[in-house]
Amino acid sequence: MSERLQPGDVAPAFTLPDADGNVVSLSDHKGRKVIVYFYPAALTPGCTKQACDFTDNLELLAGAGYDVIGVSPDKPEKLAKFREQESLKVTLLADPEKTVTEAYGAYGEKKNYGKTYLGVIRSTIVVDEEGKVERALYNVRATGHVAKIIKDLGI
């Protein structure tokens, strides 16, 4: 199981393919704040709600200096379908090997209906302009989470 990040930690660097197969790196966003959120699977109800909430608030977040990146274990083709089907505007990155998900502490034990298994833990990491972790939120709910982040960040 991966170690959870704490405020003040250096955010692990990453380079992953987006929905179109283009590579995106955390370093591409140097000088801007980045909200990196991890979700279990594209085209599922909770993940769709969360991605739509981020898309609906993207202008507000961008205006406050935040870029938004969603990361899941899905392949780029599935992310492209997700983006098209839901008209998503957030950057979606593919992490099928779960290396970045693990580096950010967003992979580990989950419980569902009394069963314990390993999976993606819905998490949101806010990275500052210098590449340091400003906030690390784990086991977040899909519904209402974006509104809570906006409130917590004072936007």
Contact 115, 24 (CB under 8 A): no
Contact 4, 109 (CB under 8 A): no
Contact 16, 100 (CB under 8 A): yes
CB within 8 Å of 76: residues ≥ 6 apart: 17, 18, 19, 20, 21, 94
Bridge partners for 10 per DSSP: 132
- 47 in active site: yes
What is the C-alpha separation between 34 and 100, in angstroms, rounded?
A: 15
Query: Which residue is catalytic, options 24, 47, 51, 88?
Result: 47
The residues carrying an active-site annotation are: 47
